[in-house]
Amino acid sequence: MTRYVITPNETPSLAIHGDDARFPLRRVFCVGRNYSEHAREMGHDPDREPPFFFMKPADAVVPAEGVIAYPPLTADLHHEVELVVAIGKGGVDIAPEDALAHIWGYGLGIDLTRRDLQAQAKKASRPWEWAKAFDESAPCTALQPVSAVGHPVSGRIWLKVNGEQRQVGDLADQIWSVIEVISHASKSVALKAGDLIFTGTPAGVGALQPGDVVTAGIDGLAELSFTLGQG
């Protein structure tokens, strides 16, 4: 038995819909600018860019319910609603036609972003971690296994703040499909069981304030609701 000099932290995990078992988390990959209109609203040409990735720590994933803390060091916290893919079988250099076999299930998540810190990092040609990888920056619903929901390739994805529509799109509008994202990522790193992939957000991202109520959904898959805590 391995002996540690400090007590290891608990393995981060997500609930599974309708089951008391949990899905253990390893890595969290996020796809940037995977919807054309969102890429344009961020000032980029989606027709010229291959998919790119950034990461969040596994313990940034929290249940998308109750109160989510407003993070420090920002005055411009943004919401980004996303389809989340849970990897159940690892692989390297996965062919697109084989990618579906590596998926355990799906969920609905929010990529919270300290946009002012991201802008500062971009201007200084520095990494984005402080903008993306902070505590509670990845609220996510319970996961639905493929056996329950299949593989969603289309369907409305939306987000409201205090009942006001902010984001709405369709999964079919993704520049890079889920199978292409998995294939592309696995050419650079070894995907393993327990990995999550946040697959990008449609247009309409915007700022959140303490006390805001965020609701979101993907038709036929999941809905969420949480309140943003006081800063």
Instruction: Please indicate, yes or no, if residue 164 is contained in any of the structural domains.
Output: yes
User: What's the confidence (pLDDT) of residue 40?
Assistant: 58
Residue 86 has pLDDT above 80, yes or no: yes
Q: Taking all residues of the chain, what is their mean pLDDT, rounded to a whole number?
A: 94
Instruction: Please indicate, yes or no, if residue 4 is contained in any of the structural domains.
Output: no
Q: Which two tokens stand for residue 156?
A: 């409305």
How far CA 19 is from CA of 62, 167, 174, 176, in Å, comes to 18, 30, 30, 31
The residues, ordered by sequence, that sit 6+ positions from 144 with a Cβ below 8 Å of its Cβ are 16, 17, 105, 106, 107, 221, 222
Q: Give the CATH number of the domain where residue 223 resides.
A: 3.90.850.10
User: What's the confidence (pLDDT) of residue 49?
Assistant: 73
Residue among 140, 169, 167, 143 nearest 154 (CA): 169
State the residue range of the domain holding 223. 13-228
Please write the tens of the pLDDT for every residue from 144-190. 999 999 999 999 999 999 999 999 999 999 999 999 999 999 999 99
- Count structural domains, the chain: 1
Residue 207 has pLDDT above 70, yes or no: yes
Instruction: Please indicate, yes or no, if residue 7 is contained in any of the structural domains.
Output: no
- CB neighbours (10 Å) of residue 223? 13
Pairing outcome for strands 156-161 and 144-145: unpaired
Q: By the 8 A CB rule, do 103 and 86 touch?
A: yes
Q: By the 8 A CB rule, do 174 and 61 touch?
A: no
